[in-house]
């Protein structure tokens, strides 16, 4: 241009000629800005209008916490670059909600703490190793030693018979030519017992929408292969 003029977008301010964008550069800049808006728009809309009580529907959604993070709402006093964009109040709200991104550490870093143990004992190392019974039991063997018969200390008039459904005969079928008494004496049987702690609250918890629980007992048997076998029962 042969003369200087005021820039009308986004604000009416004076810009020197040597700093003014050429038409091609201005179009590229506007396109990049629009692309950035829509890149955040869809996940932000989902964050703004989704139900906070919606549970995970599959393990893939949990994996996404480590791969992509989760959008969280920032402080109301925090101001971002999106405030200067010419958006409707609805879209601006959605974009602002997505300005903060919380991302979990990579799952491999979490598994690193017991990676050597898993390798030494031949357990498979992969993203689903934490789902397997032997790894679950390995982390839980700090539980108390098992005593038979397993009895509840709750009032039988309210919570029913104190005897557990996990019986000596049931476990005997799964042991490697070893009796329950021998396994207990050798320190091969362990138990995690949430029965008495949770049972008084089970009815109230199960009365909540889309929420179910039970008072569980889990018995671990330490096998000759240096891994653990799990027996689980409720009530």
In a domain, 131, yes or no: no
Q: What is the CATH number of the domain that holds 188?
A: 3.10.450.60
What's the rounded Cα separation, in Å, for the pair 35 and 63?
26
Do 88 and 164 lie in a common domain? Answer: no
Total number of domains constituting the chain? 2
Q: How many whole angstroms separate alpha carbon 167 and alpha carbon 162?
A: 12
DSSP letter at 13? B
> What's the number of CA atoms in the CB half-sphere (13 Å) around residue 70?
12
Token reading at 1: 């241009």
- Cβ(197)–Cβ(215) below 8 Å: yes
Tens of each residue's pLDDT in the chain, 235 residues: 566 666 666 556 666 777 777 777 777 877 887 777 777 666 666 666 565 666 677 777 777 766 665 555 544 444 444 444 444 454 455 445 444 445 545 445 545 544 544 555 444 556 676 677 766 666 666 555 566 778 888 888 988 888 887 788 887 777 777 788 888 787 777 777 777 878 888 888 888 887 888 777 777 777 766 565 666 554 4
Residue that is last in its domain, among 102, 129, 153: 102
Closest listed residue to residue 134, CA positions, set 205, 229, 70 = 229
Range of 160's domain?
Answer: 141-234
Q: Cβ distance 215 to 235 under 8 Å?
A: yes
């Amino acid at each position: 241009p042969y003369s200087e003029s005021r820039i009308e977008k986004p604000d009416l301010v004076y810009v020197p000629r040597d700093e003014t964008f050429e038409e091609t550069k201005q179009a590229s800049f506007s396109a990049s800005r629009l692309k950035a808006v829509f890149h955040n728009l869809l996940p932000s809309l989902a964050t703004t209008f989704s139900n906070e009580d919606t549970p995970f529907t599959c393990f893939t959604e949990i994996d996404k916490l480590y791969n992509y993070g989760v959008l969280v709402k920032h402080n109301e006093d925090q101001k971002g670059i999106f405030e200067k964009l010419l958006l409707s109040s609805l879209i601006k709200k959605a974009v602002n909600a997505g300005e903060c991104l919380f991302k979990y550490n990579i799952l491999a870093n979490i598994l690193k703490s017991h990676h050597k143990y898993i390798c030494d004992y031949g357990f498979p190392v992969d993203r689903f190793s934490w789902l397997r019974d032997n790894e679950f039991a390995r982390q839980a063997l700090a539980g108390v030693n098992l005593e038979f018969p397993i009895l509840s200390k709750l009032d039988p008039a309210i919570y029913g018979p104190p005897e557990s459904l996990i019986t000596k005969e049931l476990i005997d079928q799964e042991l490697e030519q070893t009796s329950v008494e021998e396994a207990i004496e050798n320190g091969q049987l362990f138990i995690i017992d949430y029965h008495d702690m949770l049972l008084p609250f089970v009815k109230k918890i199960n009365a909540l929408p889309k929420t179910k629980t039970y008072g569980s007992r889990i018995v671990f048997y330490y096998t000759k292969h240096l891994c653990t076998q799990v027996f689980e029962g409720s009530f």
